[in-house]
Amino acid sequence: MEVEKLPLAGALMLTPHAFIDERGFFKETYSLERYRAYGITESFVQDNVSLSHRDVLRGLHGDLRMAKLVSVVRGSVFDVIVDARTMSRSCGQWWGATLTAADGRQIYVPPGFLHGFLALEDETIFAYKQSAAYDPATEIAIAWNDSELGIAWPLEDRRPILSRRDAANPTLASLHRA
């Protein structure tokens, strides 16, 4: 497995190796021992899968207690993480990359980060592991288009398809003032 440290402290890009032959491929997407060797020590307690159409934008969501391990099963996304940890030197900074089912890359999202993605294809299937059970009382969320963050979503002139809740999310600055 290839592991790359991302510019936001604690976040990682992981690329599991695929074993490919005439039948297709086999890939180990998670191994407790292997991932712990790379510093991912959380125990994952919940797995989630979403299906999204092109231009669906989900996020930006997070939980101060929860780490995530995210990947694309089918299709492609522009994936974004934002450091929301007030004591971090990279607080308020974002990083993004295109993830595809074909490249098999994963992003480790540490606790205290916000996460979101834009589906780049119809019928995109996105999977993620969580280190804590979902609890709406501890979830935090910010606006996908927070002008202070300036995330460069690859939308060209299109508008994203948002949930009502995501369309009403506050800015990161207002979240930190609360």
- pLDDT recorded at residue 178: 57
Type of residue found at 141: A
- Tell me the DSSP string of 143-157: -TT-TTT----S-TT
Hey, what are 121's tokens? 């294809």
User: Is 128 a known active-site residue?
Assistant: yes
Tokens of 128: 């993620």
Q: How far apart are CA 53 and CA 47, in angstroms?
A: 21
Tell me the C-alpha distance between 92 and 148, whole Å: 8
Separation between Cα atoms, residue 120 and residue 52, nearest integer Å: 9
Q: Which of the residues 35, 61, 108, 115 is marked catalytic?
A: 61
pLDDT tens series, the chain, 178 aa? 999 999 999 999 999 999 999 999 899 999 999 999 999 999 999 999 999 999 999 999 999 899 999 999 999 999 999 999 999 999 999 999 999 999 999 999 999 999 999 999 999 999 999 999 999 999 999 999 999 999 999 999 999 999 999 999 999 998 776 5
**Amino acid of residue 164:** R
Return the C-alpha torsion angle 32, 134, 100, 7, nearest 10. Answer: -80
For residue 29, give the DSSP letter.
-
- Residue 99 near residue 41 (C-beta atoms within 8 A): no
- Active-site position among 35, 108, 115, 128: 128
What is the number of other CB atoms lying within 10 angstroms of the CB of residue 159?
Answer: 8
**What residues contact 9, with CB distance under 8 A and at least 6 apart?**
83, 88, 89, 90
Whether 166 and 141 have beta carbons less than 8 Å apart is answered as yes
Task: Report the CATH architecture of 2-177.
Answer: Sandwich (2.60)
Instruction: Quote the CA–CA distance of 11 and 28 in Å, as a whole number.
Output: 20
Please tell me the predicted confidence (pLDDT) of residue 108. 98
176 assigned to active site? no
DSSP state of 59: E
